[in-house]
Structure 1
Amino acid sequence: MFSTRKAAVEVERHSRLKYPHRLNFYDKPPVEDITIEEFETCAIDRLRVLAEIESGFARNRPYDELKTIAIAQCEKYIPLNATSATTVNRDAQRRKDHIGHFVLRLAFCRSEELRRRFVKAEMTLFRVRYDTDGNDERKEFLNSRDFNWIQVNEKEKVGLAEELAAASPGLDINTQDFYKVRWTRVPDLIERRKVLLKAGWAYVPAREQSSIVFQEFQVHLQNQLEKTAKSLPRLDEDNRIVPILNNLSQGFLAGVPSEWGAPEGSGEEIRADMIDDLARKHFPMCMRNLHENLKRDHHLKHFGRLQYGLFIKALGLSIDEAVLFWRRSFSGMTDDQFNKGYKYNIRHSYGLEGKRANYPAKSCQQILMTDQPGSNDSHGCPYRHFSVDNLQTALLSTYSSQGLTTADLPDILNSVKGGHYHVACTRVFEITHANQGVKKMEGVGGGESVTHPNQYAQRSRELEKAMVEKVKKEVGADGDGDVVMVG
């Protein structure tokens, strides 16, 4: 009895939804009070989803793969349950989705290029949600909007039966509804010869009805972004919002999420004398480059030390081991020179000096967009900051022992030329970990792209540990023996 009453309360609580549909054309901006933290969080979580969608475009993923990845990302960051799901707060989910969309509109309305990329990613997200919506809920959504289509009546359908059948081979005309729209609204269907054109009208079968919806969404969003761009100057005086929008738009230009919460190591502390071996087997190109320069010159300039130092800190290097590592690396100076010139900065990065802030390792977006390297610097992203010739040479010399060959370079360089640097790095990860079961398009897991150097290194180490455990089990089944992994 109690459980029945509780279920009834849940149904009643969710029966009057502010956001009645899972699908949304985002006609009305949110007008409620929103905290700065919520403003930023909603946008970042949505950006993570859109960034993975855009990575999928850069890698020429087929729609089915892109759909699978988008669904997984949505479940992690912006889940939207069906209206029939009465045990979750659907309005809260849809409110977050709504706010995130409008914040990103503000961030991406600033240029034609940003608007184009945003519309393409949002269009794909809408399509994924449309395809995964239940038939009844999708129909309710379509009935809630005026799409300005005219349903073809039975008399007109009979009169055009022969022409409709010729335009839609294999379709049972008698059981299929048709809708009339102006031909300019379905250019994709016309291009694919999927509709009958007559007197300026396109006769769209119900199975292709989604094309009208998608085109309407795209045109609507493009128009709204242009209007938003005209209103944007009014925000210039708000010093709380503008820096957030700048950061979001930079993150989108970098092709990666604005922030990525890198785990501080894997719970396993590493020692200074382990780093050379870890670098050879597990480091991404940016950190391999810094490591090799440090070994060669016994020194790194300020931004190089900062980028590399925070990376190995997040990898699991304690402050004592960090001081030991840097002292050994800076072998061309006396203890006094090292203590006076560098030890304080090392301790500062661990939050033990100065304002005692615990600085996180730099993400790919930060490496790509801040502290641009000069000609004599070693920091930055090699995929962005190296010349094409230098990058090819560096890739082969760094990763040839892990399976990368000249045949792999065109695929990597195509991503670089398109400005998708994280996609190039992800492809290198796949190639160099193919012998551990990583397949093309799999990324660092579940199709996700590299968004942080520590994410790359941690996943690489996880794969090695899994391989070791697998070999141990196999050896244990066949007989005793030591397991030796060759990097």
Structure 2
Amino acid sequence: MYKVEDRGSGSDEVKLHGPRYPYRLNFYDTPPLYDVTIEAFESAALNRLRVLAEIESSAARDRKWDETKTVIIAQCEKYLPLKSAGALNVDLDEQRRTDQLGHFVLRLAFCRSEELRRRFVKAETTLFKIRYETDDSVERQKFLGSRNFNWVAVGDQEKAEHQQSLLTYYNTKNDDFAREKYFKVRWTRVPDLVDRRRVFLKGGWAYVPGKEQSSIIYQEFETHLEKDLMVTARYMPRLDEDTRLKGVLDNLSQGFLAGVSSEWNSSPMDANVQGIKAEMVDELAAKHFPMCMRNSHQKLRADHRLNHFGRLQYGLFLKVLGLSIEEAIVFWRKSFDRITDDTFNKMYKYNIRHSYGLEGKRANYPAKTCQQILTSGGDPGCPYRHFSVDNLRSALVSAYGLSSADLHDVMNQVKNNHFHVACTRVYEITHASSGVKRGDGVGSGESVTHPNQYAAKSMELEKAKEEKAAAMVP
């Protein structure tokens, strides 16, 4: 069990003072205080990280704001639901408790360096913006009324005094202007509006119209979180002494590197891609495998061998792809065709059976995720991260026949260390004939976070294409 601080969360206080989490919007002022298991601690953080990683991926993929909102709302529904107060048949307290717990756990993971703090603040602020724009208007006003944003309401006299100046920055009819409310804040609180020349400045004050009020709130959220992360960072050395948490937090802090995979790290693919045969792997590799697994397959065919980690990574991928243990033994035996049967049985067969949970402790080992591959030592690793620039260019052209424009696009993502975004772009480019457009990702706008996810979606597209063609045959 792990205790997370949350002042005043006892059941008696809840009864006396109403809901523990009265609003959907949250500045996360107060950390939680209750016992949670390590599993719940990690699960709440992982689900939130899936959403934040997709937010960062959306920025890297240069999505428009409406597209980003659509993708993130779908991700939130899947991993981080947070309904408004009027929702029926929903445990609002549990949703909001999980939301708060996940946020504070990720603070611990991302407070450790300036770069991690910057990325975390940017992603969290974007999530807050999306929630603010989609929140129930009545509930949103109650939330705003519950906080002191230190803005000064502009009176009618002052508004009339500066009318011409205000109208310069507020292009509207006089009737609309008369109804518009204005707030004064120090100009440093709304740098985005100042930069875009959306506010009138006088004596160090920015006159913000009501329709731009959200900019004050977003800036306040960002500044508030930045300060809190600095405070958290000062206390981190104490937490690092807890060996139970250090591994969890280290793993979470890698979450922006490759996103966070979901069911692909533990579940086999669905029935429509089960039962592949050993002799099918060559064709599947050429048509459906991501670069990492395609590279492993090519090395295996060229050298008739793979090192231990290469066999483990590729073998588990094929297992989740649908290669049975019997077919796996056939596949690896044919691949290692330069050794005798006796050597194969002694050196390799046990390990193959072990990876399928038939030997040793009989565990059902999952396939490696993009995050695990990216953070490995580099052999075999992720080509987008571990290949030299020249080798990666050659491999992309050779394997996928990318045009110079597409190649430039992919290499730009690699240059900016958005390796899983580069892989996602390759998926989109190579599946354009199946109707996949830029920004679609592997479905619903999601980025690639697991090699099996890439292969599964590719095979599903081909099957759908074949079924459509068959249906058109008279």
Cross-structure match for 2:127:
125
Gaps of 5+ in 2: 1-14
**What are the Cα deviations for residues 125-148 of structure 1, in whole angstroms up to 9, with x where unaligned?**
000000001211111110000000
CA contact (8 A) 1:180 1:203 kept: yes
**What are the Cα deviations for residues 264-283 of structure 1, in whole angstroms up to 9, with x where unaligned?**
13222111111111111110
Gaps of 5+ in 1: 1-12, 480-487
Cross-structure match for 1:391:
392
Cross-structure match for 1:43:
45
CA distance in 2, matches of 1:16, 1:455: 44
**What are the Cα deviations for residues 253-311 of structure 1, in whole angstroms up to 9, with x where unaligned?**
x1311665343132221111111111111100000001011111111111110110000
SS at match of 1:203: strand
Cross-structure match for 2:449:
451
Check if 1:256 corresponds to 2:259.
yes
For residue 410 of structure 1, the aligned residue among 404, 408, 412 is: 408
Letter in 2 for 1:197: L
Cross-structure match for 2:197:
193
Cross-structure match for 1:312:
318
CA contact (8 A) 2:47 2:79 kept: yes
Classify 1:260/1:227 alpha carbon distance in 2 versus 1 (closer, same or farther; 3 Å): farther
Cross-structure match for 2:472:
474
CA distance in 1, matches of 2:230, 2:361: 44
Cross-structure match for 2:104:
102
CA distance in 2, matches of 1:439, 1:459: 14
Classify 1:407/1:200 alpha carbon distance in 2 versus 1 (closer, same or farther; 3 Å): closer
SS at match of 2:254: helix
CA distance in 1, matches of 2:398, 2:261: 31
SS at match of 2:421: helix
CA contact (8 A) 1:431 1:440 kept: yes
Check if 1:351 corresponds to 2:357.
yes
Check if 1:232 corresponds to 2:236.
yes
Q: 1:25-424 counterparts in 2 under 5 A?
A: 25-170=27-172, 172-252=176-256, 254-257=257-260, 260-262=263-265, 263-267=267-271, 268-370=274-376, 372-373=377-378, 377=379, 379-400=380-401, 404-424=402-422
CA distance in 2, matches of 1:20, 1:295: 60
Runs of 4+ that moved beyond 6 A: none
Letter in 2 for 1:255: A
Query: Deviation at 1:116?
Result: 0.3
**What are the Cα deviations for residues 301-335 of structure 1, in whole angstroms up to 9, with x where unaligned?**
11110110000000011111101100000011111
Letter in 2 for 1:82: S
Query: Deviation at 1:192?
Result: 0.8
Cross-structure match for 1:430:
428
Query: Identity over the aligned pairs, expressed in percent?
Result: 62
CA distance in 2, matches of 1:167, 1:103: 42
Letter in 1 for 2:308: H
Classify 1:111/1:259 alpha carbon distance in 2 versus 1 (closer, same or farther; 3 Å): farther
Letter in 2 for 1:439: K
CA distance in 2, matches of 1:355, 1:323: 20
Classify 1:235/1:258 alpha carbon distance in 2 versus 1 (closer, same or farther; 3 Å): farther
CA distance in 2, matches of 1:223, 1:264: 43
Query: Deviation at 1:66?
Result: 0.9
CA distance in 2, matches of 1:437, 1:261: 23
CA distance in 2, matches of 1:428, 1:362: 20
**What are the Cα deviations for residues 447-475 of structure 1, in whole angstroms up to 9, with x where unaligned?**
10000000000000000010011111111
Letter in 2 for 1:397: S
Query: Deviation at 1:250?
Result: 1.7
State the TM-score, normalizing by the size of structure 1.
0.91
**Equivalent pairs, count:** 455
CA distance in 1, matches of 2:39, 2:437: 38
